[in-house]
Structure 1
Amino acid sequence: MHPMMKPALKRAWRERQTVQFGVTPAHAVMVGPVDTATGALIELLDGTRGMPLLREEARAMGLPEGQVDALVKRLTAAGLLDDPTAGGAAADALRKRAGALDRLRPDLSSLSVVHPEPGGGIRRLAARRAMRVQVQGAGRVGATVAAVLAASGVGRVEVLDGGCTEPWDVAPGGLPAEAVGERREAAARQLVRRSAPDRPPRAAESVAAPGRGEPALSLVVVAPRDGLAAYAPDPAAAEDWIATGTPHLYAGVAEATGVVGPLVLPGGTACAGCLELGRAGRDPGRPRLLAQWRSGRRRAVPTCDVALATAVAGVTAAHALSFLDGELPASTGARWEVSLPLLDWRSERITPHLDCVCSAVGKSEREHTAGIGPAHETMAG
């Protein structure tokens, strides 16, 4: 181990013997008492020295035997130490791709704060490269989500959509104006390629699906250009994902309301069918409305405010990355909504429905959602 104080956490002295690492309450840690000798040792924890050399330095400073080990153990438990040599083979491979790693250093710094164990950040960043995510929809939300996921180091990002790019599909971070007239899928592939920090991974770098040559899907992001399909998703469209156990996350803009969620873990959390059955139970007239909305003539130009779409895409990508990194974000089994003009985020917990074929009610739901707190009326990050 080569202990290194996490550079992402700013350091400041609260008083003579108490140091605060970090600014925001979510991640700040106070350490004390810190005497002069301990402060000098902390300065040596820059990732360039292994434990044997640190012990030699401590002896040269006249410090008691074992003080370095005790300090490292204490700082590790507080989530303040990283290790530039940790993370495993995939992390070592990422370190060798200097250009890609430089692009991803801000992301790595963030991950090191979120995941306290030494090497936890780069291990998760390297793991993203082996993942395959499919984004359904190449409009203002979907294309931007795909670009952000690719830029965040996800190795394979596929975008599925039909038709040609229209002027109103163009958005900052999404499809460029030069793509108007091109096939949406082709334009989205180029966008993903430009956004990625590195070449696509080779087959040996990904985990193949059982019985298939291509990598398994880690996640499907459903971000249709028609916002209704995200706001009131059709359960029939998700049948294959439910059957294969493929996690999927809904996102989009309907009228002047942005939607993120639910993130569906098949068999464990509420799905589109649960959402539809639950709303029909509360509003008996809703099935008739849905039938009319889904069968009505589609407008040529969708209602999709570009600022709202960009905000929704950013939050969606953040929730997707949190899930890919091994967490259960606040959209798991829940939906977040935000409406113009006030932009107050609100959430709704979606309960698995007894009559839904997804079988999310009961024990499996508790297993999948362990550790998820109740929905809150504030943005949960």
Structure 2
Amino acid sequence: MASRPRVKPAVGVAVRDEETLQFGLHPARAVLLTGLDERARRFVGSLDGTRTLAQAIADSRVDETIATRIIDLLAGRGLLDDVSGPAPLTTLSREERDRFRPDLEALSLPPTVYELPETASGQKSPPPALDGGLKAFAGRQGSYVRIYGAGRIGARVAALLAAAGVGRICVLDPGCARAEDVVPGGLGWEHVGRPREEGAVAVAAAVAPSVTAWAGRAAAGLMDGAAAPHLVVLAPVGAPDPLLAHDLTTLGIPHLLATCAEGCGAVGPLVVPGQSPCLSCIELTRRDRDPGWPAVRAAIRGQSGCDTITSGLVAAQAAGQVLAFLDKRGVDAVGTAEILPDLQWRRRVWPRHPRCRCSRNDQAGLTMVA
């Protein structure tokens, strides 16, 4: 039980009537707590982290049994933090702590209203954390992500991940930045003429000075024994490199493809080697459907038509999937999120192809929905 409880700052509280409080506004999170008298409402209002639980009970003069029940209900639905621990993010400057506060508040929330669901084994799932998102944020700070490609998508992904608290980011793209690479949130005019990877590192460091970010020329190759990142983002300026994807699969490194061309965007699948379809599986599936696909693919390469808005949506979706993976939240490891020209989203699910090397030791197929 929380010793210094606080209703999560990201959750608003409204008085619906004399007996009922509503926590949260969004339908996925809103919770009603009813049957409250004046003292119970006053007790809930005192849960701001400045008092111990005993002090909050004494100040509101609520019955201890009722107070305990309220605490259990709020904690069970992921609405409470315990702020009795050490001060958060003490290694960061005050400015960065303030900037990260909204991310911490969001991290402290469960994905949806939490009701202690039973697992497949019949056991209760563990209750939500009461640490205000600190454990999840510490996990981000200890994570290492590599990004291949620093154009309209990759540079923005680097900035978004740094802004969200990812601690180490390596960007690999020695190509020279051009005017067409300049977009809000990504490379700026000051980066034109310089290697794109250097510009992306500068953008990431500007938004999050505490991030450790470096350009690829200072990084050893993964096949040469370099430290493996927790995840790789493939955001190529041009056609994806099949050899790089093959190396990542061989090394067992999770990777996510993010592309934009012809006014359409695509993010995924997030390849978890040995557990999900790989990029070669997708190519083989396309060949099965269209024998002429390899010739067409070879003739039409590149990323023409990677517009500002769609590329921004792709970058945000990719960064969100990376964070979900690092935070150990549920991620879509078999699907591709496609962003169509009318800004409609479509999800495609790919199978592990039986002829792909990644399936040789595991013949369990996945269902195609397209």
TM over 0.5: yes
TM-score range, shorter chain: 0.7 to 0.9
The worse-fitting range, judged by mean Cα deviation, of 186-195 and 9-18 is 9-18
Q: Which residue of 2 aligns with 1:94?
A: 89
Matching of residue 260 in structure 1 with residue 267 in structure 2: yes
The partner residue of 1:2 within 4, 19, 23 is: 4
Shift of 1:198: 2.1
Q: Residues 46, 375 of structure 1: CA spacing in aligned structure 2 closer, same or farther, 3 A cutoff?
A: farther
SS across alignment from 1:113: coil
Alignment of 1:68-79 (within 5 A): 68-79=67-78
Q: Residues 288, 246 of structure 1: CA spacing in aligned structure 2 closer, same or farther, 3 A cutoff?
A: same
The worse-fitting range, judged by mean Cα deviation, of 150-159 and 279-288 is 279-288
Contact 1:268–1:360, Cα closer than 8 Å, also in 2: no
The partner residue of 1:249 within 246, 251, 256 is: 256
Shift of 1:215: 5.4
SS across alignment from 2:359: coil
Contact 2:278–2:352, Cα closer than 8 Å, also in 1: yes
* Amino acid corresponding to residue 165 of structure 1 in structure 2: A
Contact 1:144–1:313, Cα closer than 8 Å, also in 2: yes
Matching of residue 193 in structure 1 with residue 205 in structure 2: yes
Matching of residue 46 in structure 1 with residue 48 in structure 2: yes
Q: Which residue of 2 aligns with 1:135?
A: 147
SS across alignment from 1:82: strand
Q: What is the TM-score of this pair, normalised by structure 2? A: 0.84
* Amino acid corresponding to residue 130 of structure 1 in structure 2: G
Matching of residue 217 in structure 1 with residue 229 in structure 2: yes
Shift of 1:40: 1.1
Q: Residues 40, 308 of structure 1: CA spacing in aligned structure 2 closer, same or farther, 3 A cutoff?
A: same
Give the whole-Å Cα distance in 1 for the aligned partners of 2:78 and 2:267: 30
Q: Residues 364, 39 of structure 1: CA spacing in aligned structure 2 closer, same or farther, 3 A cutoff?
A: farther
Q: Residues 92, 248 of structure 1: CA spacing in aligned structure 2 closer, same or farther, 3 A cutoff?
A: farther
Contact 1:347–1:375, Cα closer than 8 Å, also in 2: no
Q: Which residue of 1 aligns with 2:119?
A: none
Give the whole-Å Cα distance in 2 for the aligned partners of 1:149 and 1:344: 25
Q: Residues 93, 107 of structure 1: CA spacing in aligned structure 2 closer, same or farther, 3 A cutoff?
A: closer
SS across alignment from 2:266: strand
Alignment of 1:1-381 (within 5 A): 1-57=3-59, 61=61, 63-86=62-85, 94-97=89-92, 98-114=94-110, 116-119=128-131, 121-200=133-212, 216-226=228-238, 228-229=239-240, 235-293=242-300, 302-330=304-332, 332-340=333-341, 342-359=342-359
Shift of 1:241: 1.3
Shift of 1:199: 4.8
Q: Residues 109, 279 of structure 1: CA spacing in aligned structure 2 closer, same or farther, 3 A cutoff?
A: same
* Amino acid corresponding to residue 357 of structure 1 in structure 2: R
Structure 2 unaligned blocks of 5 or more:
112-127, 214-223
SS across alignment from 2:269: strand
Shift of 1:56: 3.9
Shift of 1:103: 1.1
* Amino acid corresponding to residue 241 of structure 1 in structure 2: L
Q: Residues 365, 327 of structure 1: CA spacing in aligned structure 2 closer, same or farther, 3 A cutoff?
A: farther
Contact 1:271–1:358, Cα closer than 8 Å, also in 2: yes
Q: Higher helix fraction: Structure 1 or Structure 2?
A: 1
Shift of 1:200: 3.0
Shift of 1:348: 0.3
Contact 2:268–2:335, Cα closer than 8 Å, also in 1: yes
Shift of 1:67: 3.1
Structure 1 unaligned blocks of 5 or more:
202-211, 367-373
* Amino acid corresponding to residue 355 of structure 1 in structure 2: R
Q: Which residue of 2 aligns with 1:209?
A: none
**Root mean square deviation, CA, Å:** 2.7
Deviations 1:25-44 (A, max 9, x none): 11111112222121111012
The worse-fitting range, judged by mean Cα deviation, of 23-32 and 212-221 is 212-221
* Amino acid corresponding to residue 66 of structure 1 in structure 2: T
Give the whole-Å Cα distance in 2 for the aligned partners of 1:132 and 1:39: 45
SS across alignment from 1:114: coil
Give the whole-Å Cα distance in 2 for the aligned partners of 1:271 and 1:15: 54
* Amino acid corresponding to residue 319 of structure 1 in structure 2: Q
Contact 1:252–1:259, Cα closer than 8 Å, also in 2: yes
Q: Residues 311, 71 of structure 1: CA spacing in aligned structure 2 closer, same or farther, 3 A cutoff?
A: same
